[in-house]
């Protein structure tokens, strides 16, 4: 059940906090776990707790347990939804990936033809391919990352430092929010 999944996430965060950890990495799924493994992030000093689609509830549980730094690491198809304030990313609750890519492309000067193509794209990778063709990937990703940071900060409400790393299996690292940059800079010291 969904409640059991949320309880499991809260339990894993409670266990990490009980072991004295004040930092945590929250990947929504297996793609995030694979990305972390490939890039040597997490494990040992920084526990990894898979949060599934329950980003908001995992952030709330991290606040309850006194974590000081929380880093979300996930596929763009999942985490782009956070740019729209969506904290339960299951497609049954909300699936506005293409709409968000389209909105930020329009803000970056993309025309109707690009927006129609983005809305019809089958995946986040499809959106990125279209943005590359239009020369707008960097601008659109910057806007999305800024919006993601705003929504993460709002949810954390000052309880901890938070950031997100977005990637694609096809395109690799797509970007880091400003909060993720700060966290990773500190972790690398």
pLDDT in tens, 81-90: 999 999 998 7
pLDDT-based confidence at residue 94 (cuts at 50, 70, 90): confident
**Secondary structure of 76-123 in the HEC alphabet?**
HHHHHHHHHCCCECCCCCCCCHHHHHHHHHHHCCCCHHHHHHHHHCCC
3-state secondary structure of 46: strand
3-state secondary structure of 125: helix
What's the confidence (pLDDT) of residue 95? 86
With b for 16 or more beta-carbon neighbours within 10 A and e for fewer, the 50-76 pattern comes to bbbbbbbbbbbbbbebebebbbbbbbb
pTM: 0.95
% pLDDT > 90, the chain: 88
The DSSP bridge partners found for residue 114 are none
The DSSP bridge partners found for residue 176 are 165
pLDDT in tens, 134-172: 999 999 999 999 999 999 999 999 999 999 999 999 999
What's the confidence (pLDDT) of residue 93? 78
3-state secondary structure of 40: coil
The DSSP call for residue 52 is T
Distance (Å) of CA 44 to CA 11, 41, 110: 18, 10, 44
- Provide mean pLDDT across the span 2-11: 91
**Mean pLDDT, all residues of the chain:** 95
Residue 72 · residue 167 · CB < 8 Å: no
Distance CA 151, CA 81 (A): 10
């Amino acid at each position: 059940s969904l409640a059991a999944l949320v309880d499991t996430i809260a339990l894993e965060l409670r266990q990490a906090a009980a072991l004295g950890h004040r930092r945590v990495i929250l990947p929504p799924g297996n793609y995030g776990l694979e990305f972390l493994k490939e890039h040597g992030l997490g494990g040992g000093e920084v526990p990894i707790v898979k949060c599934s689609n329950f980003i908001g509830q995992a952030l709330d549980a991290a606040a309850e347990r006194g974590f000081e730094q929380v880093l979300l690491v996930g596929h763009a198809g999942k985490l782009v939804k956070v740019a729209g304030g969506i904290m339960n990313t299951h497609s049954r609750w909300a699936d506005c990936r293409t709409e968000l890519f389209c909105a930020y492309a329009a803000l970056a000067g993309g025309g109707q033809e690009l927006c129609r193509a983005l809305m019809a794209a089958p995946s986040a990778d499809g959106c990125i391919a279209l943005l590359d063709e239009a020369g707008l990937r960097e601008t659109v990703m910057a806007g999305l990352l800024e919006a993601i940071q705003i929504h993460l900060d709002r949810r954390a409400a000052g309880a901890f430092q938070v950031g997100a790393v977005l990637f694609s299996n096809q395109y690799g690292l797509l970007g880091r929010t400003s909060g993720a940059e700060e966290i990773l800079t500190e972790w690398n010291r």
